[in-house]
Structure 1
Amino acid sequence: MRRLLVIFALLISLTSYSQTEKPLRVAVVGLVHTHVHWILGREDRGDIEIVGIQESNTDLARRYSVQHNFSMDIVYSDLDTMLEEVKPDAVFAFNTIYDHLQVVEKCAPRGIHVMVEKPLAVSLDHAKQMEALAVKHNIWLLTNYETTWYGSNHAIFDLAVKENRLGDIRKMVIHDGHQGPEEIGVNKEFLEWLTDPHWNGAGALTDFGCYGANLSTWFMQGERPIEVFAFTQQMKPDKYPKVDDEATILVTYPGAQVIIQASWNWPFNRKDMEVYGAVGYAIADDGSNMRIRLPGDEKWQMHKAAPLNSPADDPFAYFAAVLNGEIQPEPYNPSSLENNMIVMEILQAAMNSAQSGKSIVLNKD
């Protein structure tokens, strides 16, 4: 029932928007998540206009203003002041995961829609508070993942879920990660909070485990798992003494199993997904390349997924199109609140399991 209420409330909010040629007036909250370069360095597609940036670290803001050629006149140190003076239609949050709740607390009562960078929240408790605010104030609350915009993931979803050509899904194996945040050279402002469990919830478990939880929830069409077991390690305690840098999450469904491998120890960057059905399988090696084997195939076949069509190829274009009523999001799509509430159930259970060493059985909704 709670999920239905969320969907109903979000659908109602569409009535306040109509198609328009004017760009959506947006603000950026936080510059400490380096995925912010995605929006700051984005080509002007005429769909959004950045009218304000909130960041209390003036040195960081100045560095990025030079790099991306925005005026310091639109930078505010205080979130309330920016929201009152700028009055944006929507906000994109690139601050710490812990501070996502504060963004929604400030924006929702003002009727300002929010998209946060993955994951939705630092804990299930924070996520529930954010969900309640979004429903109460009829705002869209979406979550952005890089993998949402992979043509390969959408092609395999169509094959496996919409067309059921793989048969019933039996297993998914999802790998996400890189050599480690320090190893790949993230800046100090990002590294400080990403490796602190207070601000990030955990380490690799939350940073990369969220991708697998998000994709599996999409492919399982919102079915909640019955059990979660996770184990974590510190391969590099000298670099990451406060958090895990290696995590494996086992997610059990009534008829399927999902294995999520999140790591800051891969020798190379990777974001790939394997989907095994009763009669076939499909593997996304990256954003476009796929290996597929269907009934009758003697071996797997290589395929290349077509790029996604605008505006469904980009988080900011997508959000603008949703708010303008041009797109009706499908149930449990990767950006949706209902999907990401289940993601947070999985991540919270995984954190609890890793700490206790026990499997966590999820309560029935």
Structure 2
Amino acid sequence: MQRRCPIVHAHLRRCLSRLLIAASTLQLTSALQAQTQDHIRVAIVGLVHGHVQGFLRSLPSHNNVELVGIAEPDAALRQKYAAQTKLPESIFFASETEMLAKTHPQAILVYSSIADHRKAIEQAVPQHIAVMVEKPLATTVEDAEAIAKLSKQYNVPVLTNYETTWYASNTAAYQMLGEGKIGDLRKLVIHDGHRGPKEIGVGPEFLGWLTDPKQNGAGALFDFGCYGADLATWFLHGEAPVSVTAITLQIKPDIYPKVDDDATILLKYPHAQAIIQGSWNWPFDRKDMEVYGAKGYVDTVKADKLRVRLPGETDERVEIATPLTAPQDNSLDYLTAVLAHKIDPRGDLTALDTNVTVVRILAAARESARTGRTVTLAH
């Protein structure tokens, strides 16, 4: 018995060594997987949307995001951005098809016209490539529903990016309502817009499609009405309105002869209403909102301030909203978290279900403005 102990001990040492190696390998694999989850390869589709400039400016601050390709059919536009950004010409492609085949991104960021969103998504999603488009999701309900069907078929996320999603003031107002501090929701009044795209100096490639009713869906009605439709749908937890009534104006037909430049949309819900005011005629840039409850109210002021009056208070007061933290404070960290399955976007401001409802609202508003009649939505 004593003579066999060294053999048994040696065997135990070998087994222990193998277990330690296996554990180390598993730990290394887990670490690499976590690193892969926190690092994403993205590509850009289209350079005609001016918001792409904001993405390119923010990219250096996101070490977890690698830009692997840019697809844009306009050669002059490709050259312009290559010169401005100093990015290697090797990452620029004339077509999305070629770019996806050569770069294999995990997600595409779409900066095309709104009408071209569906085409870009139809190429990416069957290859299991996630998508984030700039607002709104689509110009027609048909396109929005086709995109949703494709996303469900391949189980690939399609997100819609709004600047106001990352406003701490909007999240704070939403939380105050949810906590019952102002009582049940009664009314939303949402203002978005600026002096007009030409007046603020957007590039010609942006202005060209933004003022085209087919490529943009409408004028200010879609360009800025979508923010309010998105926020209203979020505040109402995905509920579609009972009816939509809209009025549009052409205050500056000499500048915008094909589309509206001012829009007001009224959304009727069973126990609340939302008034959405999107315009290219505001004297100043604005993205703010008034949230009225049965017992109090909270107004958002830009990205981080609130005006609040709660039950029992005689005057309103100004508060600074608690800053948002990653991944809820910016689109790239949010997209990364969704791809890593750390966030389920359903019901969020970016979510596909939310934004199909947004397109239904905008399409109904366009029809209401055209006919002068209230449009009832099917439920």
Using structure 2 for the length normalisation, give the TM-score.
0.89
Report the counterpart of residue 5 of structure 1 in structure 2: none
Report the counterpart of residue 19 of structure 1 in structure 2: 34
Inter-partner Cα distance in structure 2 for 1:327 and 1:20: 17
Note the C-alpha offset of 1:51: 0.1
Counting matched residue pairs gives: 346
- Tell me if 1:308 matches 2:346: no
Inter-partner Cα distance in structure 1 for 2:377 and 2:361: 9
**1:38 aligned to which of 54, 63, 69:** 54
Note the C-alpha offset of 1:321: 1.2
Report the counterpart of residue 177 of structure 2 in structure 1: 160
Report the counterpart of residue 90 of structure 1 in structure 2: 107
Consecutive unaligned residues of structure 2, counting only runs of 5 or more, are 1-31
| 1:56/1:240 CA distance change after superposition, 3 Å | same
Note the C-alpha offset of 1:294: 0.5
Inter-partner Cα distance in structure 1 for 2:135 and 2:349: 11
- Tell me if 1:361 matches 2:376: yes
Inter-partner Cα distance in structure 2 for 1:40 and 1:66: 13
Bigger proportion of residues as helix: 2
Which residues in structure 2 correspond to 1:130-149 (within 5 Å)?
130-149=147-166
- Tell me if 1:56 matches 2:80: no
Task: Report the AA paired with residue 255 of structure 2.
Answer: K
Note the C-alpha offset of 1:73: 1.2
- Tell me if 1:195 matches 2:211: yes
Task: Report the AA paired with residue 56 of structure 1.
Answer: P
Inter-partner Cα distance in structure 2 for 1:198 and 1:56: 19
Inter-partner Cα distance in structure 1 for 2:173 and 2:212: 35
SS for the counterpart of 1:311 is coil
Report the counterpart of residue 240 of structure 1 in structure 2: 256
Inter-partner Cα distance in structure 2 for 1:239 and 1:143: 29
Report the counterpart of residue 74 of structure 1 in structure 2: 91
Note the C-alpha offset of 1:326: 2.5
Report the counterpart of residue 13 of structure 1 in structure 2: none
Inter-partner Cα distance in structure 2 for 1:98 and 1:79: 16
Report the counterpart of residue 196 of structure 2 in structure 1: 180
Comparing 302-311 and 39-48, the one that deviates more: 39-48
Note the C-alpha offset of 1:257: 0.6
1:298-344 deviation line (CA, Å, top 9, x unaligned)? 11110011221012111011101110122233x41100011101101
Report the counterpart of residue 257 of structure 1 in structure 2: 273
Note the C-alpha offset of 1:135: 0.5
Using structure 1 for the length normalisation, give the TM-score.
0.93
Which residues in structure 2 correspond to 1:196-345 (within 5 Å)?
196-329=212-345, 331-345=346-360
Highest Rg: 1 or 2? 2
1:129-155 deviation line (CA, Å, top 9, x unaligned)? 111111111100000000000000001
Report the counterpart of residue 4 of structure 1 in structure 2: none
Task: Report the AA paired with residue 38 of structure 1.
Answer: G
- Tell me if 1:119 matches 2:120: no
Report the RMSD for the aligned CA atoms in angstroms.
Answer: 1.2
Consecutive unaligned residues of structure 1, counting only runs of 5 or more, are 1-16
Note the C-alpha offset of 1:18: 5.9
Task: Report the AA paired with residue 348 of structure 2.
Answer: N
Note the C-alpha offset of 1:40: 0.9
1:196-236 deviation line (CA, Å, top 9, x unaligned)? 00100000000000000000000110111100000101000
Which ranges of 4 or more aligned residues in structure 1 deviate by more than 3 Å?
none
Inter-partner Cα distance in structure 1 for 2:295 and 2:301: 20
| Identical columns (%) | 48
